[in-house]
């Protein structure tokens, strides 16, 4: 997948005129306290289809409004269909329904996917260093060309170095090992502390595995934001779940 990303970027670097920078996603995470990015998703590789006591809650627009009501700072919307049950329509519905900035969450491997995100009025895109490798810096430049913020995701020290060297200003640290799918909640605090010690002055986001206020307590004063997906999506009351998680 990394080779494909490199080939496509070199073959199709022209995304048209520069678009005005939005910056809404970054601004939403930069406020005081620990911001919550609430994820709109219907499935995940680790647990399959997500079920809810109220299936209507999993409708993207309704979920987005509930997250907004509960106090989420931003939204993450899956558009990858095979593993996460996402779709472009989910992102379009969320953007139309909610005033919160939305991240297009997908495996970006082609510049056209950045152009799609901008056309669909996403505020940001996910760029995975595990997928893009040294091409991360190029995809960052292309995203900014389109007026998009970028959440650059890392899993270990090597990927963190690539993200910082590539000019990322929002770095997400994933607690999930993508090979085993196991969660280690110590991973994000450890790498976030390393990033700060190395002089990183951008925003830092902890991702994956957070299910309770106690889980995210160690992130306060350390991370700028936390991204939560499955544990919220399967809740009986999405707005209340957000309030309880961030209490």
Q: Which of 130, 207, 230, 235 is catalytic?
A: 207
Return the C-alpha torsion angle 143, 149, 154, 157, nearest 10: 90
Told to judge if 80 belongs to the known catalytic residues of this protein, a careful annotator would answer no
Task: Give per-residue pLDDT as tens, 74-132.
Answer: 999 999 988 788 899 999 999 999 999 999 999 999 999 999 999 999 999 999 999 99
Span 216-230, mean pLDDT?
Answer: 95
Residue 19 DSSP one-character state: P
Q: Which of 39, 187, 230, 235 is catalytic?
A: 39
Q: Which of 116, 153, 159, 235 is catalytic?
A: 153
Told to judge if 244 belongs to the known catalytic residues of this protein, a careful annotator would answer no
Only one residue has tokens 């544990």, namely 231
129, 97 in Cβ contact below 8 A?
no
DSSP string, 215-237: HHGGGTTT-SEEEE-HHHHT-S-
**What does the block give as tokens for 152?**
């650059």
Can you tell me the distance from the alpha carbon of 84 to that of 217, in angstroms, rounded to the nearest whole number?
Answer: 27
Task: Give per-residue pLDDT as tens, 48-70.
Answer: 454 554 555 578 999 999 999 99
CATH 3.90.76.10 fits 2-12+23-246, yes or no: no
Q: Which of 44, 76, 130, 174 is catalytic?
A: 174
Task: Report the pLDDT value the prediction gives residue 89, as an integer from 0 to 100.
Answer: 96
Residue 47 pLDDT exceeds 70: no
Q: Which of 44, 98, 105, 116 is catalytic?
A: 105
Sign of CA dihedral 199, 204, 210, 215: positive
Told to judge if 134 belongs to the known catalytic residues of this protein, a careful annotator would answer no
Indicate the domain borders of the chain: 2-12+23-246
Told to judge if 182 belongs to the known catalytic residues of this protein, a careful annotator would answer no
Strand-pairing partners, residue 76, are 39, 103
Q: What is the mean pLDDT of the chain?
A: 89
Told to judge if 89 belongs to the known catalytic residues of this protein, a careful annotator would answer no
Q: Which of 76, 175, 208, 230 is catalytic?
A: 208
Rounded (5°) CA angle 85-113-83: 20
DSSP string, 135-170: GHHHHHHHHHHTT-EEEEEE-SHHHHHHHHHTT-SE
């Amino acid at each position: 997948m990394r080779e494909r990303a490199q080939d496509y970027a070199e073959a199709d670097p022209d995304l048209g005129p520069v678009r005005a920078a939005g910056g809404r996603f970054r601004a939403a995470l930069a406020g005081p306290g620990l911001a919550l990015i609430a994820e709109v998703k219907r499935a995940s590789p680790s647990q399959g289809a997500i079920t809810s006591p109220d299936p209507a809650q999993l409708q993207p627009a309704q979920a987005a409004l509930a997250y907004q009501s509960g106090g989420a700072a931003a939204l993450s919307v899956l558009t990858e269909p095979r593993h996460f049950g996402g779709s472009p329509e989910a992102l379009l519905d969320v953007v139309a329904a909610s005033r919160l900035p939305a991240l297009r969450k997908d495996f970006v491997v082609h510049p056209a996917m950045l152009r799609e995100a901008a056309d669909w009025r996403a505020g940001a895109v996910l760029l995975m260093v595990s997928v893009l490798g040294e091409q991360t810096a190029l995809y960052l430049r292309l995203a900014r060309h389109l007026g998009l913020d970028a959440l650059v995701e890392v899993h270990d020290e090597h990927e963190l170095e690539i993200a910082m060297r590539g000019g990322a200003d929002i770095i997400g640290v994933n607690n999930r090992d993508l090979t085993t799918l196991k969660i280690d909640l110590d991973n994000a605090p450890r790498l976030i502390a390393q990033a700060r010690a190395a002089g990183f002055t951008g925003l830092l986001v902890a991702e994956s595995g957070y299910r309770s206020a106690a889980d995210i307590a160690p992130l306060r004063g350390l991370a700028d934001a936390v991204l939560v997906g499955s544990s919220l999506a399967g809740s009986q009351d999405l707005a209340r779940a957000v309030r309880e998680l961030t209490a």
